């Protein structure tokens, strides 16, 4: 997101009211889920509360989900394109797994805390000395959640195409644990992809509020593509290339 930030779009009075109502609803949902999360954690019970919270965020934000392909089951790495902050609650609602994020997110204490509740693994792709620790963190998150999602573009696109996939973000996936599938995922916002996407010089907070101010629902189709097989799984570079090719083919077909 390089360059000077542009002035935010002006929201209508009704749009502002809608955004405030949704923010209050999200905060209330968070306050309800946090005690239940820690009780479940202390008692070592199944802990669905991160998924419930993120799925609730998706619904409050007006996200309408549809699916193509078989939803993942068991141990799986999901490799998805990245268009919006909505991608995370959408995928959490769909499969309830954890996420891999870049270490820049960990610099924001509140966001880091929320991410940790959902077992987010922070990857420092420029720190080769920490790869072993990252590998262990990835495996721990996978064993707890059963699914782990990564956005290898490293930033958001406009939803009509794909940025290059950074294979360095897949360092912690090499070598793949035995019995773990790797599945590409296309997040398709349809004709409104450019409107939803956070790209260019728009401030992240402005994008967040603009989407919450919408009257119309956000339509998102999640395409769960077939697992990668054979030579595609040889190393992180072949995984990145094969996943990008599969997602691009689905996007343009």
38 within a domain of the structure (yes/no): no
Q: Within 13 Å and on the Cβ side, how many CA atoms surround 175?
A: 4
CA distances from 11 to 80, 130, 135, 213 (A): 31, 44, 44, 7
228 within a domain of the structure (yes/no): yes
Residue 53 CA from chain centroid, whole number:
14
pTM score above 0.85: yes
What is the per-residue pLDDT for 5?
46
Rounded average pLDDT per 10-residue block, the chain, 253 residues:
54 95 97 95 89 95 96 88 94 88 67 78 61 68 77 90 88 80 96 90 88 95 96 94 97 92
178 within a domain of the structure (yes/no): yes
Tally of structural domains, the chain: 1
CA distance 151 to 203: 20
184 within a domain of the structure (yes/no): yes
What is the per-residue pLDDT for 3?
41
Beta bridge partners of 224: 185
What is the per-residue pLDDT for 4?
43
7 within a domain of the structure (yes/no): no
DSSP state of 69: S
CA dihedral sign of residues 139, 145, 149, 155: negative
Classify 181 as helix, strand or coil.
strand
12 within a domain of the structure (yes/no): no
What is the per-residue pLDDT for 200?
78
Taking a C-beta distance cutoff of 8 angstroms, is the pair 88, 119 a contact?
no
226 within a domain of the structure (yes/no): yes
Taking a C-beta distance cutoff of 8 angstroms, is the pair 147, 73 a contact?
no
Write out the residue range of the structural domain in which residue 94 sits: 62-193+216-252
What is the per-residue pLDDT for 131?
57
CA distance 123 to 28: 30
Question: Which residues touch 114 (CB under 8 Å, ≥6 apart)?
Answer: none
204 within a domain of the structure (yes/no): no
């Amino acid at each position: 997101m390089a360059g000077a930030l542009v002035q935010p779009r002006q929201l209508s009075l009704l749009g502002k009211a809608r955004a405030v109502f949704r923010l209050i609803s999200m905060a209330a949902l968070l306050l309800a889920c946090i005690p239940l999360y820690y009780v479940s954690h202390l008692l070592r019970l199944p802990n669905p509360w991160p998924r419930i919270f993120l799925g609730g965020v998706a619904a409050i934000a007006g996200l309408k989900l549809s699916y193509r392909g078989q939803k993942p089951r068991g141990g799986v790495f999901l490799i998805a394109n990245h268009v919006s902050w909505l991608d995370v609650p959408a995928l959490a609602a769909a499969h309830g797994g954890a996420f891999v994020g870049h270490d820049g997110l960990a610099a924001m204490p509140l966001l880091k805390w929320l991410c940790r509740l959902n077992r987010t693994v922070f990857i420092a792709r420029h720190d080769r000395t920490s790869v072993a620790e990252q590998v262990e963190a990835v495996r721990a998150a996978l064993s707890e959640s059963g699914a782990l999602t990564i956005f290898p573009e490293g930033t958001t696109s406009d939803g009509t195409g794909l940025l290059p996939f950074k294979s360095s973000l897949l360092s912690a996936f090499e070598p793949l644990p035995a019995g773990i599938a790797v599945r590409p995922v296309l997040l398709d916002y349809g004709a409104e992809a450019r409107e939803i996407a956070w790209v260019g010089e728009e401030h992240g907070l402005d994008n967040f509020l603009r989407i919450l101010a919408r009257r119309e629902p956000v339509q998102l189709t999640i395409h769960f593509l077939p697992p990668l097989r054979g030579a595609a799984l040889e190393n992180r570079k072949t995984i990145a290339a094969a996943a990008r090719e599969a997602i691009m083919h689905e996007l343009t077909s």
